[in-house]
Chains A and B, each alone.
Chain A
């Protein structure tokens, strides 16, 4: 916060002041970069330098491949270790931006003889890019509302929890670089819009290209910018600068986007991109109209308008008809499932269980807004109002940006990440404006009391940033009003507002000294709360790598390293070509950490394949064995949290397996697994549930741990305690029973006759070899 007050005039000469201000800004930006980087290192300090979660493991594996084999091999990589037996063409189905970025950094450092491992580079890519993202935020906000707002926005973004959650050290995911690319693309768009420079327009297309390389969220850009262009045209703000900002972006951007293998012809074929082409046509028509208007007399122009409108109607009609026909010819109307679920939030849960099953695709809850953007949620409205005074092309863009991202974040919790930069920009603007007013007032009051002749100079000083005096003043007043309304909600700043409003001087908007000081202190306090929350979030909430779990209890810290333990077991004890079946969540980790072939993984491109695995998990043992055997599966891995109370285990995900399996294979019915609509695993559970493979593999020998079979996640005793496995044998159970690995028994050597078992008590026991495993909890 000190940063915001720093560009105070140090010398009377304006030039000197500017120079000093610039140096200070650069220094502050460097510090912001350091802050953004270092606040994300909690995970490394508290745990270790390790890749987090699920998707980052895939990205890490791809980066390893890239660094080992080079870019052409990466481009053409056919991976035969996932989606067995279908395989996956990695080079053509992955957004390569992140991988190429990290690969380039690694290559660059190595060529400088800095021998970092690929893993280290991957771990620290996200923190580095969040520093870049802060700087890009500064640039963008500076273009909108001056450098004061820019610095405020940058420092807010450097530690906004929503962004931290996706970019802590080790969280090596697409979003890590994509948020930077997103903000930077917006910056270049605004820059072009403000300058009308073709140079920036070209850079903008390149930045857009980088964004397309990095993340599927690029469709947000290619829809938001056309919307803004349309908004400008509708509100009569068309200018050649707008044309230069938009037209090259569409042409170059689309050409470049089509070069990315995963996008390819989608860049011109899918509905996500249609808006940009439609607006592209409209802006040309508008440009033509303005041109003709310029060269014709008003009378001639009227004639021309009637002519053009009548022809234009016909052309428009034809184009619309073609588009409708094209869209209608594809079953989903040309929209991908994920985009459809954005427009209609209930779409996914109705039709695509595989999308609905991912927790980050669920709508967020209200507390998660406060958790993820904290006080920014209250500053955003003030920022929006500040943007309206006056409304420029650029400020209307950020307003549109926040409005759209608020909608999208309400649909999918994952898109909170897109909201975060917008919220930071808005809050930065709001804070900066408020500080402007308060510090200006204080200086004015102090100046008047000490030296009454310096009035003129103080009024000059008040608008010390780029924004002109009148605009700022007006904006501030509204900010105050808005904040006072919020004062009812927030108890921190109720005292100052009414007095502010009453005593405000219209002309220079100078506030009384005491009020200003109190308001300043309250604002700083607000900022302090934000900082405390952010540091807490970074340190406690978002730094866990999720492959290593810890729990604090009376007798000290418990570390649960079961995942790595079992992946290591797999890689050391199984054949290199063995296939491991598990629910798709663990696919990426199994291929990356255990280097074993998996049936399905987190790239959920083939619903049928996933449904097959879901069906196997929901089937009785024999049917499951047949399914797995037909897929050449040797081992089945299940994650079980009942012993230590780890809630996101396979039993809790099981209903999704049933739903996804039942979506393709109708003999699996969800109702068979529910007792009166309730999901139960205790004695009230249905026989289907108690006999399905997932139940058996999870709870096999579970009763031996405590004698009762008490599941600590579901908080109940399990329904069926003593049973034997006939087609699977337990080969590994991790220390805390979190990961259990079973091997498929080979087909029986003989087939028994059906005669009554004579003396069979002794013979049947021969099939289930009982392995005595020591229970760590007894």
Chain B
């Protein structure tokens, strides 16, 4: 026994580096990140962002986007957990990379930060389209806003936007409120409203529009107002996360350091909200936050502990599920009052909100409906910013057995009486008829 446990410990010690560096269910935070740049000078011009990532323990691997040795996989294994593409003008990626391999990378559950900029290449637009984000088709267009530009905008064409229309989600942008506006200079994109996987994190103000600042407007701009998204995120169905920004400068040291004053506003800020914004966003996209995991669904009859193979109609049952949230370092109990369970057969017959004890256990109890069939316990938890929980467990519900009905029904006693008196009467009648002379 001792030997065994020792060897297990030895093996786990041996595997530890491997475990800690691989993307896994138990440790969802990314570790190895590939950064693709179209110019190595970006490494220094965006050093605050990159250093921030490094200080949080990420292992960044900088490569030129057209490096011919680029590869995401080796021997069928992904070499990276995350990908940052800061190469808006690259027309072709080097090595074996193309937009399909990046789409596959996302489909394998890994994360992506993609930043376009004015005159973004077709490749970058193609990747964004794969993720459900449509950049303005006019490649020279930029976001222009004549009311909420930053006063520090020296060019005077109102393309440096001071945006403060942030998504209201503590999970994505952290608990601390971002006070200062976020500085943005870049290209606009739009989202399909029916696509429920993407949503705007940073939207333009209603007065913004997308056009070429250096030429006169000949026709009304196609993208206007709050339909314009500046920074969007996508959470795929397999919980891979993607950030798509229309501005590479958003991440740059220059905009992070610069002070900001929104046009028409008295509030002047020493420092723009960019650093906080990109830091919190990168925490979310690399699964340091908002990642839930659920244990298996547990159910049993009231007063029992074992899970039955089948329920009977009108049984009382207890249901519970454990949900934990990843804090970046460890799994903490998840606390919420909006987790619901469905007892589902083509439509939910029972819909109950689970009550949480603060230890991550969500439970409830209910009566099986008076309908038999093959039911499912379903927990479908989709909350903005959190990973989607979709759990289900099949359980059949049977009708009463033949001997589970009431033996005697009180209202039927007249009938029982009639039955027995008839029998008795027939007996007496036969007796009299046969023997009475």
Contacts and interface: CB of A to CB of B under 8 A. Distances in A.
Contacts of B98: 762
Interface string A417-455: 000000000000000000000000000000000000000
Contact of A759 (B126, B192, B399): B126
Interface stretch (A479-487, A613-621, A743-751): A743-751
Given A78-B399, A747-B237, A758-B122, A753 B133 contact: yes
Contacts of A772: none
B176 to A, nearest CB: 31
A754 interface: yes
A762 B372 contact: no
A752 to B, nearest CB: 6
A72 B372 CA distance: 19
A759 B132 contact: no
Given A749-B238, A751-B197, A86 B373 contact: yes
A763 B234 CA distance: 19
A599 to B, nearest CB: 11
A751 B132 contact: yes
A750 B122 contact: no
Contact of A763 (B126, B128, B238, B345): B126
B129 A753 contact: yes
A754 B345 CA distance: 35
Interface in B69-100: 98-100
Contacts of A80: 310, 374, 396
B61 to A, nearest CB: 25
B375 to A, nearest CB: 7
Contact of A762 (B100, B240, B345, B394): B100
A766 interface: yes
Given A747-B237, A750-B131, A750-B234, A755 B125 contact: yes
A240 B376 CA distance: 62
A630 interface: yes
Contacts of B104: 766
A72 B404 CA distance: 13
B125 A758 contact: yes
B374 A86 contact: yes
Contacts of A759: 99, 122-123, 126
Contacts of B123: 759
A749 B237 contact: yes
A754 B190 CA distance: 10
Given A759-B99, A762-B98, A751 B346 contact: no
A75 interface: yes
Which of B198, B310, B346 is the most central at the interface, judged by chain A CB atoms within 10 Å of its CB? B346
A85 interface: yes
Contact of B375 (A76, A85, A631, A763): A85
B131 A753 contact: yes
A695 interface: no
A84 interface: yes
Contacts of A765: 100
A763 B310 CA distance: 46
A491 interface: no
Interface residues of A, number: 33
Which of A80, A753, A766 is the most central at the interface, judged by chain B CB atoms within 10 Å of its CB? A753
Nearest to A577: B394
B195 interface: yes
Nearest to B99: A763
Interface string B362-398: 0000000000111110000000000000000010101
Contacts of A755: 125, 129, 134-135, 137
Nearest to B346: A85
Nearest to B404: A76
Nearest to A630: B346
A766 B103 contact: yes
B265 to A, nearest CB: 34
A748 B197 CA distance: 11
A597 B376 CA distance: 15
A755 B190 CA distance: 10
A750 B127 CA distance: 12
Contacts of B373: 85-87
Nearest to A85: B374
A766 B98 CA distance: 12
Nearest to A754: B192
A85 B374 CA distance: 5
A89 interface: yes
Interface residues of B, number: 44
A765 B134 CA distance: 20
B129 A758 contact: yes
Contacts, number: 103
Contacts of A78: 310, 372, 396, 398-399
Interface in B126-150: 126, 128-135, 137
A750 B129 contact: no
B107 A750 contact: yes
A747 B98 CA distance: 23
B236 interface: yes
A771 interface: no
A152 B237 CA distance: 74
Given A76-B401, A85-B346, A85-B375, A753 B103 contact: no
A762 B129 contact: no
Contacts of A667: none
Contacts of B394: 577
A750 B132 contact: yes
Contacts of A756: 137
Contact of B236 (A84, A750, A762): A750
B402 interface: yes
A345 to B, nearest CB: 36
Nearest to B400: A76
Nearest to A747: B237
A122 B281 CA distance: 68
Nearest to B375: A85
Interface string B192-209: 100101100000000000
Contacts of B197: 750-751
A87 B397 CA distance: 9
A80 B130 CA distance: 41
Interface in A81-108: 84-87, 89
Given A78-B372, A762-B100, A763-B126, A752 B132 contact: yes
Given A75-B402, A85-B345, A755-B135, A749 B106 contact: yes
Contacts of B234: 750
A329 interface: no
B413 to A, nearest CB: 20
Which of A72, A597, A749, A760 is the most central at the interface, judged by chain B CB atoms within 10 Å of its CB? A749
A751 B402 contact: no
Contacts of A754: 134, 192
B100 A763 contact: yes
Nearest to A80: B396
A752 B374 contact: no
A765 B398 CA distance: 47
B372 A89 contact: yes
Interface string A594-606: 0001000000000
A86 B122 CA distance: 51
B122 A753 contact: no
Given A80-B310, A763-B99, A766-B103, 11 more contacts: A76-B401, A78-B396, A89-B372, A631-B346, A746-B237, A749-B107, A749-B236, A753-B129, A753-B195, A759-B123, A762-B100
Interface of B: 98-100, 103-104, 106-107, 122-123, 125-126, 128-135, 137, 191-192, 195, 197-198, 234, 236-238, 240, 310, 345-346, 372-376, 394, 396, 398-399, 401-402
27 contacts: A76-B398, A78-B372, A78-B396, A80-B374, A87-B374, A89-B398, A577-B394, A597-B374, A746-B237, A748-B237, A749-B106, A749-B107, A749-B240, A750-B130, A751-B132, A751-B197, A752-B130, A755-B125, A755-B134, A755-B135, A755-B137, A756-B137, A758-B126, A762-B99, A762-B100, A763-B99, A763-B130
Give the top 8 A-B pairs by smallest Cβ distance, nearest first: A78-B398, A80-B396, A755-B134, A85-B374, A753-B129, A753-B134, A76-B401, A751-B195
